[in-house]
Amino acid sequence: MDMHTDASSPDRRRFLRLTGSAVATAGILGLGGQSAWAQAGATPAAGDSHVAPAKDLPAAISLPPMQEDKSEKSRMPVQLGKDSRLGLAIVGLGRLSLEEILPALANSKRCRVTALVSGDPAKARQVAAMYDVPETSLYDYQTFDQIRNNPDVQAVYIVLPNALHKAFTERAAKAGKHVLCEKPMATSVADCQVMIDACKAAGRLLMIAYRIQYEPLNRQVKDWARGGSVLGKIKLITMANCQNQSKENIRQWRHIKALAGGGALPDIGLYCLNTARFLLGEEPIEVLATQYSTEGDARFAEVEEAILWQMRFPGGVRAQCTASYAGFTSRQYRVLGEKGWANMDPAFGYNGLQLKRSRMAEDTDEFMAPGIEQITPQEKNQFALEMDHFAECVAGGKQPWTPGEEGLQDQRIMEAIYESARTGRAVELAPVKGLDAFRGTEPTKP
Ligand code: NAD
C-alpha cells in the first residue's frame, strides 16, 4: 500500500522548509574582451593575468528567514547582479554543455557564462549569440591559453572527454583561472594528483562537478543515513546505474579507452561509487569486483560493458553496485537500515528524482507492516546548485564540498575495482579516518 506523506508530519515540514524556496531566474549577459580568434598564435606576456582575486567577488545578499520577516527588505533579490557573478568559460560544447549546463545558468544566482571554448568556430558563434557571449570571448583548444587575458573569466568549467580534463585543468590554472571539472576527474590517480598540484601551485580552486552531492533529495537521504534515528543502523546499500549505449556511433569517445579511461565504471558506475561514499561519509576499506563484455559487441572492444562490485565500509555497511552500458535505463538505489529504508528511483537523472521511505513507527521496536511515504519537494536544477556552490567558494576563498581530493579518492577506488575484476580477488584500500575526509565546505541549503 502506498501511503503518501502528510504535509503536516514533522519530517515533511522540516523537508519542505529545506527545499521550498522559489527558483530564481536571471538574464545572462556577456561583456567584451580580447579577440582570441583574431589573436590566434599571439603569445601573452608571462604572468599577464587579469583574473579578479577571489576576495574581490562580493558575497550574495543574505536574507532573514521568510516566515519571520515579511517586510519589504525580505523581498530583495538573492541572486547577484551581472557584474558580481562568477564569469565562467565553458570548455567543450558537447551534449552536456549545450543541453544542461548552459540552460542551467538561467537558474544560477551566482554565475554567468562569459566565454566559450570549442573546436568548431561556427558552433561557438551560434551558441555565443544565444547566450550573449561576445565573439571576442570565443576560443578554440589551441588559443585556450589566451583566456588569461580575459578579465571577464574568473573560472573555467571543463566539459570535455575524460582524458582531456588533466591538460585543460593545468592550462586553466596556469592562466590564473579557478577550475570546475566534470566527472570523472581524470583517467588515472597520477593525473588527478597533477591537477590538484597545478591548482594549488596557482592558488586556484579545483572542484569536481558531482551534482548529486548538491541535490536536495540525495542530501536528505545522507542525513537519514547518517543520523541513525530515521532508518536505524545502516546495513546495506544496493545501487545500479545502467544505460544502453547507441550502436550507431561505435567509435564515440566513451568507447575509446584512451579518452574515456574505461567503460561503464568511470562514466555511470561512478555515480554509485561516489553517492555511496557521500551518503555514509566513510571510505571503503575493501572492494570485490567482476566485469564482462559481450563477445563480438563492437561497442565494448576496448572498454567494459558491465561491472559489478561490492564495497566494504569500516562501519560494517556493504554496498552492492552495478553499472551496465547495455541495459535499459535504470538509475536507482536503496539504503537499508535496521528500522527502515530509503529508496531513490530514479536516483541519478537530471530531474524527476523520486524518493520513498519506509520505516517502523517511532519509539517502538515492534514489527509492523511498513507503509511507504513518497517525498516530493520542489525540484532544483542540480547544475545551478553545483555551480553556485563553486561560485560561493571562489568568492569566499573556501575549499569546495567536492574538491579535487574527492575526485582523486574515487579514482583510487576505481583502480582498485578494476584490479579486483582483473585478479578475481578482493582488494584492500588504505583506511581513512573520520567522516567526509576529502570534502570541503558544506553547501548552503538551497
Ligand atoms: P560529448 O561527446 O557530448 O561532448 C564532448 C565535447 O568535447 C564535444 O564538443 C567534442 O567536440 C569535444 N572534444 C574536444 N576534443 C575531443 C576529442 N579529442 N575527442 C572527442 N571530443 C572532443 O560529451 P559529454 O556528454 O558532453 O561529456 C563531457 C564530459 O562531461 C565528460 O567528462 C562526461 O563524463 C561528463 N558528463 C557529466 C555528466 C553529469 O551529469 N555530470 C553528464 C554527462 C557527461
Q: Is 209 in the pocket of ligand 1 (CB under 6 A)?
A: yes
| 221-227 contacts at long range (C-beta below 8 A, 24 or more positions apart) | 221/279, 221/335, 221/342, 221/344, 221/355, 222/278, 222/279, 222/281, 224/335, 224/342, 224/357, 225/279, 225/280, 225/335, 225/337, 225/342, 226/279, 226/280, 226/281, 226/435
Of 211, 245, 272, at which residue does a domain stop? 211
**Tell me: the pLDDT tens digits for 385-414?**
999 999 999 999 999 999 999 999 999 999
**Residue 369 domain flag:** yes
Q: Which atom of ligand 1 is nearest to the CA of 210?
A: 41
pLDDT reported for residue 237: 98
214 is annotated as an active-site residue: no
Q: Mean pLDDT across the stretch 49-55?
A: 40
95 alpha carbon – ligand 1 mean position (Å): 7
Residue 15 burial (C-beta neighbours within 10 Å; 0-12, 13-18, 19+): buried
Nearest residue to 229 (alpha-carbon basis) of 83, 362, 384, 383: 362
271 is annotated as an active-site residue: yes
| 187 and 282 inside one domain | no
Range of the domain at 104: 10-211
Q: Rounded distance, CA 208 to CA 228, Å? A: 29
Nearest residue to 23 (alpha-carbon basis) of 351, 270, 363, 399: 351
| 158 and 244 inside one domain | no
Point out the least confidently predicted range of 20-34, 105-119, 206-220, 300-314.
20-34
Of 183, 222, 339, 380, the catalytic one is 183
| 295 and 163 inside one domain | no
**Residue 291 domain flag:** yes
CB count within 10 Å of CB 37 equals 16
Residue with cell 551558441: 127
Helix (H, G, I), strand (E, B) or coil at 97: helix
Q: Is 269 in the pocket of ligand 1 (CB under 6 A)?
A: no
Domains held by the chain: number: 2
Beta bridge partners of 337: 234
Residue 29 has pLDDT above 50, yes or no: no
Q: How far is CA 98 from the centre of its chain?
A: 17
| 272 and 207 inside one domain | no
Residue 364 has pLDDT above 80, yes or no: no
133 alpha carbon – ligand 1 mean position (Å): 21
**Residue 147 domain flag:** yes
**Residue 445 domain flag:** no
For residue 365, name the pLDDT band (cuts at 50, 70, 90).
Answer: low
| Alpha-helical regions (H) of 282-401 | 382-396
Q: Is 162 in the pocket of ligand 1 (CB under 6 A)?
A: yes
Residue nearest to atom 8 of ligand 1 (CA): 94
| 282 and 336 inside one domain | yes
Q: Which atom of ligand 1 is nearest to the CA of 350?
A: 40
Helices (H) and strands (E) in the chain, counts: 12, 15
352 alpha carbon – ligand 1 mean position (Å): 23
**Tell me: the pLDDT tens digits for 68-96?**
555 544 444 467 888 899 999 999 999 99
Residue 366 has pLDDT above 60, yes or no: no
| 270 and 366 inside one domain | yes
Average pLDDT, the chain: 86
Q: Which atom of ligand 1 is nearest to the CA of 383?
A: 41
Residue type present at position 396 = G
| 91 and 234 inside one domain | no
Residue 136 has pLDDT above 90, yes or no: yes
| 337 and 257 inside one domain | yes
Interstrand relation of 138-139 and 111-117 (parallel, antiparallel or unpaired): parallel
| 118 and 203 inside one domain | yes
| 255 and 296 inside one domain | yes
User: Is residue 50 left, alpha or beta, with left meaning phi > 0 and alpha meaning psi from -120 to 50?
Assistant: alpha
State phi, psi for 140 to the nearest 5 degrees: -110, -175
Q: Mean pLDDT across the stretch 344-370?
A: 81
264 alpha carbon – ligand 1 mean position (Å): 15
CATH number (domain holding residue 200): 3.40.50.720
Helix (H) or strand (E) holding 420: helix 404-423
Q: Is 161 in the pocket of ligand 1 (CB under 6 A)?
A: yes
CATH number (domain holding residue 275): 3.30.360.10
